[in-house]
A and B are shown apart, each in its own frame.
Chain A
Amino acid sequence: MSMMGTTVAAEPDLVLEADLARLIVAALSLEVAADDIAPEAPLFGAGLGLDSIDALELALAVSKAYGVQLRSDDERNHRIFASLRSLAAHIAGHRTR
């Protein structure tokens, strides 16, 4: 991985975020519009109200679309799954497609 890939965190990738929002809505058959998912709002619990089975489906969809494997032994999971923005940032740093 290049140095570029690991230092992108500062600027959110708005195109990727919009793309990921559409993937979440489609993969989980949500009744909200992709545009209505606030990038910083929590995905689980209070915010979008996803549960751990949703997280599993989301992980499967993310792996298929971006080639990023989300594993349970990643200690940063709570941060990665915190919001659309944090998930997109993680994907940006690790995507293979």
Chain B
Amino acid sequence: MADAALNPQSEWVRAPERGNNFWLRVMIGITRTLGWRAGHVLLYPITAYFLAFSPRQRASARQYLDRALGRPARLADLWTLYFTFAATILDRVWLASGRTGDFSITVQGLDALRARVEAGQGCLLFGAHLGSFEALRAIADAGCPVEVSILMHEANATRVKAVFDTLGGAGRAAAIIPLGSPDSMLRVREVLERGGLVGLLADRAPAGQRLHLADFLGHPAPLPTGPHLLAAVLGVPVLLAFGIRTGTRRYEIIFREFAERVAPAGRAGREAAVAASVEAYARELEAMCRAHPTNWFNFYPFWQAP
């Protein structure tokens, strides 16, 4: 399939993730010994450092901001984007361990999710590298009666699991389902069968995944079809879920209905239905990016087919 060539499997994709985890460890160390205020003060030099010394990421960020804002991005926009990114990493230290007491978290669209949960209907939650997916854990901690799992790429899963182990204990670690094993999707199915929720980030394609070019902020971007195919095979409803950082220790969690069924059961017409679903996701993501332009954390050439 020609689409297979469109894989963003370059240093670009992995580099931000690596830096991200290094800084997460630094943040955990500092905030544990010196507290939140010290961590927060450090965000300024950290933001300045990354803004100054990551010209390639900066070029990608600028291209994204130009398109999301609909005007040429200014230095202030880039600063806010980088600062927001650093701040979500700092906040993760608290959010990942469920210590949300000092945060102001509002939730939009919870009714749609609650109806499903109460009916015992398993759902997939599609997120993106937009804001903080960890903020969604606040829902689990606020007495969500069903299990919440997150499906993620194996290498990241190992690192994130280590962080969760440090912060929150074994119960949280168990909620991560690593991709890349033949039975990964069997685990997803079993959580959904028990009426649980499985979250995944649907905007980046891990190595080897199939992609579909969908219009995003006015230009075709390669997006993974895997999440949509998974929803089609399982025949479960999909909701969109984002944890948007709206200010200092302020988050807005947004749930949106996405699709009752991504594609009909059986393989006939599935490919077209999956492609249409990817395009619908791209439109929803685009609207979120226009509303919250500085929550975007894909610091690589998002539109480029490498």
Contacts and interface: CB of A to CB of B under 8 A. Distances in A.
Contacts of A56: 185-186, 188-189, 230, 233-234
A55 B233 contact: no
A55 B186 CA distance: 8
A71 B190 CA distance: 8
Contacts of A71: 186, 190
B226 interface: yes
Nearest to B184: A52
B54 interface: no
Interface string B126-147: 0000000000000000000000
A54 B15 CA distance: 29
A59 B186 CA distance: 8
B183 A72 contact: yes
Q: How would you classify the secondary structure of chain B's contact residues: helix, strand, loop or mixed?
A: helix
Interface string B47-69: 00000000000000000000000
B208 interface: yes
B226 A53 contact: yes
B229 A53 contact: yes
Contacts of B229: 53
B186 A29 contact: no
Contacts, number: 52
A72 B208 CA distance: 22
A60 B186 CA distance: 10
Interface residues of A, number: 19
A77 interface: yes
Given A59-B186, A72-B187, A52 B181 contact: yes
B183 A81 contact: yes
Nearest to B151: A52
Point out which of B185, B208, B230 has the most chain A C-beta atoms below 10 A from its C-beta. Answer: B185
B186 A70 contact: yes
Contact of B183 (A50, A55, A60): A55
Contacts of A59: 186
Nearest to A57: B233
Given A51-B208, A71-B190, A77 B230 contact: no
A78 interface: yes
A72 B226 CA distance: 19
B182 interface: yes
Contacts of A77: 181-183, 186
Interface of A: 29, 43-44, 50-53, 55-57, 59-60, 70-72, 74, 77-78, 81
Interface of B: 179-190, 208-209, 226, 229-230, 233-234, 267
